[in-house]
């Protein structure tokens, strides 16, 4: 084991099971439904299931719960596979699907009927709800509960063959309509779906419920520890009932842990789909979404996601995690690993009047201030530069403490280059500064100037003759409410109108011309940014802001 000992209750259970010889090999599984893209909540489950298997020398299966063809597609299957690989995990053997086991599940359903433990019911959905009872009142038996075994077997076959319309019949387990656990009140095992399946086409016209399929699939695969989130705790008795009442090849056990709830976002697949379908966001991989594809497009590294998930408690209760905790791991990872670059978001021209107009040099700059292994890049330098408009003022009354940038008549150092002095400014007809006239202080490349020329501070810049024109997309939190979907709130009303701001006409240093998707840079003094693979091409380059340098939400 990598860890000195078990630290959470699931690790303690597994350690006990191994020591007591209740299992000789840990086999876990991650069972997503391919009806949407994975999000940060799924990442916690992925890290837990794959991590436990690795920790205890076992294996983890990837199995798609493709039992609801109306909402599922191969697009989602491929996206989920890509996300898991991106996180750095490898499943055991081939990718598995619930549909791989449809024939066996059907045969087991027939066995339940034959044993008098299941029946075909013709109550309408409304009648089924009425017969089911309430949390305080028991349900009552369906009039079809004592249907002849041969008749139920025959009707199930008709359902399978497509001879029954949707909604007319279901197969139900015969358990206990008076059970205090609503899941045990004759749950549905099969329902008719005639629209076809993304893998099996029109081979099947009935599909098993998740409750019926899940445990048996675990048993077929020899899963030792079936780990679910807390909403499945009430389903565990049903999970165990099927295992006990069917001739399954093994006896997996289910355990539940608290799911990840993150403030300032939503992780409901239904709500995420609504955001996508109604075009409130730019697809499932919108960088403002908590989807793994969105985080990847935003420039978050898999290492940051895994470190965040590993920091979370594995507990028996749900809890809310502050987005700032996730942001901390993103910033920590990028501060240590992101190469540096300079990009001017609101450029204004600076002309160095004492620099020869035909002289262009290249200045070396470290790719990371603390990582010699990351090497150097080359910064072109010439007579004309761009600096950020916010880094210059004509207000000479501002003290050095209040404004540590370029002031008319004063000095500032260009990052990795010379000290310059602002001598004058050119204005347009509206009085706005359009050009700064400045001079280079000689012998200040890597050297300090005389005391009377001490610079106010250090600013970033790019050379006008050799730079990248680009757009920058400033992404922020999608919602301005920490609990956008709590209670009866309409989460759409909490969308942050400033969650996506496009800045055009930015100027990046020349090294950014070779930027590739997957590499996130620290734009010095601006934040962390990555190339947007979807919207960038040879003629138009867009960088997405991954995260700001500091938490701007701390005092909101």
CB contact at 8 A, 304 and 528: no
Q: Which residues of 288-322 are buried (b: 16+ CB within 10 A; e: fewer)?
A: bbbbbbbbbbbbbbbbbbbbbbeebebeeeeeebe
Question: Coil, strand, or helix at residue 542?
Answer: strand
pLDDT in the model for residue 7 = 82
CB contact at 8 A, 160 and 193: no
CA distances from 66 to 39, 96, 196, 270, 359 (A): 18, 10, 12, 17, 65
33 is catalytic: yes
CB contact at 8 A, 25 and 58: yes
The set of residues, in sequence order, having a beta carbon less than 8 Å from that of 65 and lying 6+ positions away, is 31, 32, 33, 34, 98, 210, 213, 214
Question: Coil, strand, or helix at residue 494?
Answer: helix
CA distances from 272 to 65, 277, 284, 285, 329 (A): 19, 9, 8, 11, 24
259 is catalytic: yes
Nearest C-alpha neighbor of 452 from the set 461, 440, 441: 441
CB contact at 8 A, 416 and 380: no
298 is catalytic: no
Instruction: State the CB neighbour count (10 A cutoff) for residue 188.
Output: 16
- CA-to-CA distance for 267 and 291, rounded, in angstroms? 8
- CA-to-CA distance for 337 and 521, rounded, in angstroms? 9
Question: Coil, strand, or helix at residue 54?
Answer: helix
Structural domains of the chain, with CATH: 9-257 (3.40.50.620), 269-340+470-547 (2.40.240.10), 343-460 (2.40.240.10)
CB contact at 8 A, 272 and 284: yes
pLDDT in the model for residue 251 = 96
Residue the block writes with tokens 């086991």? 101
- CA-to-CA distance for 513 and 377, rounded, in angstroms? 12
- CA-to-CA distance for 549 and 535, rounded, in angstroms? 24
Instruction: State the CB neighbour count (10 A cutoff) for residue 251.
Output: 16
Which of 63, 132, 269, 377 is flagged as catalytic?
269
Determine phi and psi for 410, rounding to 5 degrees. Answer: -125, 180
Residue the block writes with tokens 């009442």? 245
Nearest C-alpha neighbor of 517 from the set 367, 300, 286: 300
Nearest C-alpha neighbor of 330 from the set 521, 546, 532, 518: 546
- CA-to-CA distance for 443 and 419, rounded, in angstroms? 9
The set of residues, in sequence order, having a beta carbon less than 8 Å from that of 107 and lying 6+ positions away, is none
Pairing of strands 340-341, 411-414: unpaired
pLDDT in the model for residue 5 = 59
CA angle 76, 91, 55 (to 5 degrees): 130
Tokens standing for residue 52: 């436990």
- CA-to-CA distance for 293 and 171, rounded, in angstroms? 38
pLDDT in the model for residue 242 = 98
DSSP one-letter string for 348-367: EEEEETTS-TT--EEEEEES
Q: Is residue 255 exposed (0-12), middle (13-18) or buried (19+ Cβ within 10 Å)?
A: middle
- CA-to-CA distance for 114 and 323, rounded, in angstroms? 53
pLDDT in the model for residue 1 = 43
Walk along the chain (556 residues) in steps of 10 and give the mean pLDDT of each run: 68 96 96 97 97 97 97 97 98 98 98 98 97 96 98 98 97 98 98 96 97 97 97 97 98 96 95 97 97 97 97 90 96 98 98 96 97 97 98 95 96 98 97 97 95 96 97 97 95 97 98 94 97 92 96 71
Which of 117, 259, 271, 389 is flagged as catalytic?
259
- CA-to-CA distance for 556 and 547, rounded, in angstroms? 17
Strand partners for 349: 386, 435
């Amino acid at each position: 084991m990598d860890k000195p000992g078990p630290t959470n209750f699931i690790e303690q259970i597994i350690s006990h099971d191994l020591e007591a010889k209740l299992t000789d090999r840990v086999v876990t599984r991650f069972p997503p439904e391919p009806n949407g893209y994975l999000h940060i909540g799924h990442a916690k489950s992925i890290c837990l299931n794959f991590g436990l298997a690795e920790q205890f020398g076992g294996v983890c299966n990837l199995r798609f719960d493709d039992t609801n063809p109306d909402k599922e597609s191969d697009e989602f299957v491929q996206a989920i596979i890509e996300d898991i690989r991106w996180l750095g995990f490898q499943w055991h053997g081939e990718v598995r699907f619930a549909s791989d086991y449809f024939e066996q599940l059907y045969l087991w359903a027939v066995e339940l009927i034959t044993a008098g433990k299941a029946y075909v019911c013709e109550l309408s959905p409304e009648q089924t709800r009425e017969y089911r009872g309430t949390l305080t009142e028991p349900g009552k038996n369906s009039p079809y509960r004592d249907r002849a075994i041969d008749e139920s077997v025959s009707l199930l076959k008709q359902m399978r063959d497509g001879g029954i319309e949707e909604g007319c019949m279901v197969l139900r387990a015969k358990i206990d309509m008076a059970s205090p656990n609503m899941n045990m009140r004759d749950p549905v095992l099969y329902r008719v779906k005639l629209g076809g399946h993304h893998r099996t086409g029109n081979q099947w016209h009935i599909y098993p419920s998740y409750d019926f399929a899940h445990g048996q699939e675990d048993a077929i695969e020899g899963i030792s520890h079936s780990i679910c989130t807390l909403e499945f705790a009430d389903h565990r008795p049903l999970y165990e009932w099927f295992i006990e009442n069917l001739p399954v090849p093994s006896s997996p056990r289910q355990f539940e842990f608290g799911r990840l709830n993150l403030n300032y976002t939503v992780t409901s697949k239904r709500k995420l789909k609504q955001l996508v379908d109604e075009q409130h966001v730019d697809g499932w991989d919108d960088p403002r979404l908590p989807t793994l594809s969105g985080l990847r497009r935003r420039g978050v590294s898999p290492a940051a996601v895994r470190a965040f998930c590993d920091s979370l408690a594995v507990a028996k209760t749900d809890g809310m995690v502050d987005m700032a905790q996730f942001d901390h791991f993103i910033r920590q990872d990028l501060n240590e690993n992101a190469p540096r670059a300079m990009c001017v978001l609101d450029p204004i021209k600076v002309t160095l009047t004492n620099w020869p107009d035909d002289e262009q040099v290249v200045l070396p700059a470290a790719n990371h201030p603390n990582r010699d292994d990351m090497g150097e890049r080359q910064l072109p330098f010439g007579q004309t530069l761009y600096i950020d408009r916010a880094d210059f003022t004509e207000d000479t009354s501002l003290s050095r403490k209040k404004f540590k940038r370029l002031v008319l008549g004063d000095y500032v150092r260009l990052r990795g280059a010379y000290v310059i002095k602002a001598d004058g400014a050119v204005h347009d007809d509206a009085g706005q500064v359009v050009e700064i006239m400045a001079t280079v202080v000689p012998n200040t490349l890597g050297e300090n100037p005389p005391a009377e020329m001490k610079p106010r501070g250090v600013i970033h810049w790019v050379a006008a003759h050799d730079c990248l024109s680009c757009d920058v997309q400033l992404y922020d939190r999608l919602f301005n409410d920490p609990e956008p979907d709590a209670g009866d709130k309409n989460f759409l009303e909490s969308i942050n109108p400033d969650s996506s701001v496009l800045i055009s006409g930015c100027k990046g240093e020349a090294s950014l011309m070779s930027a590739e998707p997957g590499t996130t840079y620290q734009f010095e003094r601006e934040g962390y940014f990555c190339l947007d693979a979807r919207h960038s091409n040879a003629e138009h380059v867009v960088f997405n802001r991954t995260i700001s340098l500091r938490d701007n939400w701390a005092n909101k």
